[in-house]
Amino acid sequence: MESNPIKNKADFTPIKKMFAELVDEKTFEKECSFALQHLQKNAYLSRSTPNSILVSVLNLAQIGLTLNPAQKLAYLVPRYNSASSAIECCLEPSYQGLIKLLTDSGSIVNCYAHLVYENDEFEQNLGTENIIIHKPKLGVRGKMIGVYAVAVLANGSKQTEVMDIKEVEGIRDTSESYKSFKGGKAKSCIWDDWFDEMARKTVIKRIVKYLPKSNFDKLAKAIDLTNDDFQATFEQLNYIDGLLHTSTISEEKKEFIEKHMSTYNKEQAQGAIEMLKDSQVDSLTGKGVGGQTEIKEALKFIK
């Protein structure tokens, strides 16, 4: 495969005008320098297609993050595209980057995520109050068993989300980039290199669906960038979440969808959307619309 021709700032000229219109030329110059640092430090990444590198840098302007290594808000990572048999550069917002976009949107005032290990003291109380007690074990903490996130809203209330390690690994295993890595087609994978960070980001992406959806454009774009090409988009998952509240399907099926929707690819998500649209409550009669007999057939998309 040919070496990547993007080796200096001049090679980013095709996106300079668009980037400067979204932000400014000074920021463009800085991000090009940071991008070149990423490429120079990762030989596998440097083999990415030139267009994918340009698109990744332009995406920085669209979501408002930076490749500055000191801030650790976003990275350039390689993904193997099995359809084209090419390595593509992708912009990967970090969990710190997602938190920044959440707080910048004004939806929350703070958010944090922590890993839980088998020797830690951990307890989650559900009911009238959602309380998490986590006391990390000093010294040997054992293997990782879970991860959780806490978001603090403007009124002081808190939203929490807890995931066990099996849930995180299940999402990892559906990743096309991880499949390519395990199959020997890709030499590296962010899930393999940075599992801890990906676990934190996974639980933050899940907690987002419970937060106020104000000024979410940049965050939605950032979340979609963290997904593989075939994974469901933020808009699809947000639409499914809204349809669930007015659907006439059983609570058991709703719980199933809520638990597994973060692992859906685009086709599965669209199948769930069509099924849920067909099982909405009629505002005039209060009864479900569409044929309930079609639900079983539609559920094949969400298994």
Residues 143 and 198 in one domain: yes
**Do 50 and 151 fall into the same domain?**
no
Q: From CA 22, how far away is CA 57, in angstroms rounded?
A: 12
Does residue 14 carry a pLDDT above 80?
A: yes
Report pLDDT digits (tens) over 176-214: 888 888 988 888 888 999 999 999 999 999 998 888 877
The CA-atom distances, in angstroms, between 127 and each of 134, 147, 152, 210, 257 are 18, 20, 18, 17, 22
Query: Are 86 and 106 in a shared domain?
Result: no
d(CA 59, CA 143): 36
- Nearest Cα neighbor of 204 from 64, 99, 71, 93 is 99
Mean pLDDT comparison of 32-46, 235-249, 252-266, 281-295, highest-scoring range: 32-46
Domain that holds residue 149: 95-212
245 shares a domain with 188: no
Average pLDDT over residues 124-129: 82
Model-level pTM? 0.73
Q: What is the DSSP letter of 1?
A: -
State whether the Cα torsion 222-223-224-229 is positive or negative: positive
List, for residues 72-89, the tens digit of each pLDDT value: 999 999 888 877 888 889
Asked if residue 192 and residue 109 are part of one domain, the reply reads yes
Give how many domains the chain has, as a whole number: 3
Domain match, 88 and 136 both: no
37, 71, 93 - which closes a domain:
93
100 and 87 within one domain: no
CA–CA distance, 40 with 8 (Å, rounded to integer): 10
Asked if the structure places residue 28 within a domain, the reply is yes
| Structural domain ending residue among the three candidates 51, 76, 93 | 93
Whether 193 is covered by a domain: the verdict is yes
**In this structure, is residue 194 part of a structural domain?**
yes
Burial class (CB in 10 A: 0-12, 13-18, 19+), 121: exposed
166 in a structural domain: yes
Last residue of one domain, picked from the residues 65, 93, 121: 93
* pLDDT given for residue 145 in this prediction: 97
Q: Which residue has the higher pLDDT, 258 or 5?
A: 258
- Looking at the fold, whether 152 and 175 belong to one and the same domain comes out as yes
β-strands 86-93, 158-164: how paired?
unpaired
| pLDDT > 90 fraction of the chain, expressed in percent and rounded | 49
The residue type found at 170 is G
What is the predicted pLDDT for the residue at 250? 86
Q: Exposure of 151 by Cβ count < 10 A (0-12 exposed, 13-18 middle, 19+ buried)?
A: buried
Query: Which tokens in the block code for residue 33?
Result: 């320098």
State the chain's mean pLDDT as an integer. Answer: 84
Q: Are 119 and 202 members of one domain?
A: yes
